[in-house]
Every structure is written in C-alpha cells, then in structure tokens.
Amino acid sequence: MSLQPLVLKAPAKINLTLRVTGRRADGYHTLDTLMQKLALFDRLELRPAGQGIRLACPGSGLPEDDNNLVYRAADLFFSRMGHRLAGAPQGVELVLHKAIPVAAGLGGGSSDAAATLLGMNELFRAGCTGPELAEMGLALGADVPFFVSGLAAARATGIGEVLAPAPALEGYLVLLVNPGFSVSTRWVYETLALTSTEKEFNLDSSQNNEQETSGAVPAGDQGVDSSMMVNDLERVTAGRHPEIGEIKRVLLHGGAEAAMMSGSGPTVFALFPKQREALARQCRQRLDADYASVFLVEPLSPGR
C-alpha cells in the first residue's frame, strides 16, 4: 500500500445526444446517449489513513458524509474489496476540490465517484479489473461506468451503463454556461414521465437513423449536424427555467455552430469550430457578465 498521497482528475462530460427510449418495469428510463468527456476537472486527493473514511470538500458546501458519492464510493470499495487488502488498515482520507458545477448535467458527482474507485484501487493495490470497477460504479450511478472507463467518448444505452466506444469530438471548443441553479435529475425524469406517453418514447431502435446507431459524433460534411443533437430532457428543464432558451439564443447568435442543454441540465453547451476561437472568447466574455460559471474548454481525446 502506497503511503504517498494520490491525486486524480475527474472530468466533466456533455451529452451530444440524449434520447429517452422507454421505461423499465422498475421505473428506470432507458436511454440512447452519446457522451463526451471535457477538459474541466474536479481534483481528488487520496491518502491512506488508519481506519474509517474521512472526507473534506473545502469551499464547496457539499456534505462530507455518506450523503456524498465520494464517501459512498470509498465505503463500497472497502465493503466489496476489503478481503483483498491482506489485513492492511481499511481507512482513507479524501479531499475533493470542486470545479465542475453541482447538479448541473455535467456528471460531476458521477465522475468524482469514479475517480474514487479508480484511486482506491490504485492506492490499495487491490487489482480490480475494469468490469469489477464498472460493476461497483453502477451501484452508485448509471454514469459512473463511463467515467471509470478509459473512453473519451461513448454511446451509452440501457439505463446508461451499456457502453460502446465512439469517436471523440475533434476540431471544436466547448463553451459551457451554467445558469447558477441546480436541477434534480429525479425531478426531470419524474416530470418527463408525467408529461409523456409511452408512444412518445422511441421504443423501436430500428427507427434510429444510421448515424445514431453507429455511435458516431453527430457531424456533417461541414461540421456538427445540429439536427442530430437532440436532448429529450431539455423541454422539461427549459419549461421551468426559460433562462436555458435565452442562453442558447445568445450562444447561437454569438457564432456557435450548435447549442444544447447537457443531461438533465441546467448547463447549456455550445460547439465552436476552433477557427472561431475569437468568437467563442467574445461570447464567453459576454456571458461572464451574467453568469458565474462559464467555461471554455476542449473535448478530451483518447489518452488524455
């Protein structure tokens, strides 16, 4: 077991497409979504520390107990893999430094949980395989297996846990705008269920066009095909929060090739071709005046 602190980066993600395809008998919605990791990171520090779990989240206001996914991930790791630690003390100290907005549709909590599992496996030399970590991750959240994986982009189906590699987004900068309020993912899905009928869900995968089923990034000959960028959850969140539509209008008028809400929101992202970087920076400066969390980042590529 290493006595040195371990520092890991937990990336954000966006959903380039998000289709709700149905509902299971247990109430979970099934999805068909294309996810892309971004160079916007939380930072997680891990140190072995005798017995028990100690978590600090300085400056974030997040809970530091089992109401936090990082704490729960560490607890789950010890519960599932303690027998592999050969009598070593089962204790860890974790410090989470947040940069990704909370409850924002960017996967920050899931990414932090995944970093915890990866870090615990390395710190305690447990020898977990990728599938073992993904299985533990799924117990914490449907997006966690994606962040556990080494994939920069993936098509996810099922409840989000069935992953297939997808080409990473290239040639674009991503401008993220978070309006400054949080959105409950549970509320979004419950509201979707109340306002939709099963006929509205695309239950027949054969109805998807070739590009959707291939898992390819939605792009045409001249760049991103915005008609392929659909988020079925956007109408629910934007229906309550009209700021989402206003942010999209500003981004598109500012030169973005496409703009859409990510996940259950409320963060809106825009794709700017790299040759429009000056426009992206101008747009960021304009939105900085109205919103506290605005980021201009690059999509991650394999190996980053």
Whole-angstrom Cα distance, residue 98 to residue 34? 24
Residue count of the chain: 304
Set 13, 37, 98, 248: catalytic member = 13
**Token pair for 81:** 């893999």
Nearest-5° angle of CA 64, CA 185, CA 78?
40
Q: Look-up: residue for tokens 């530091």? A: 64
- Known catalytic residue: 9? no
Are residues 8 and 44 in contact, defined by beta-carbon separation less than 8 angstroms? yes
Q: In this structure, are strands 91-97 and 52-56 parallel, antiparallel, or unpaired? A: parallel
Instruction: Respond yes or no: is residue 288 known to be catalytic.
Output: no
Three-state secondary structure readout of 81-110: HHHHCCCCCCEEEEEEECCCCCCCCCCHHH
Angle between helices 69-81 and 130-140 (to 10 degrees): 130
State both tokens at 65: 């107990």
Catalytic-labelled residue, pool 98, 143, 232, 248 = 143
Backbone dihedral region for residue 79 (phi beyond 0: left; psi -120 to 50: alpha; all else: beta) = alpha
Would you tell me the crossing angle of helices 69-81 and 108-123 to the nearest 10 degrees?
40
User: Which active-site residues does the annotation give?
Assistant: 13, 143
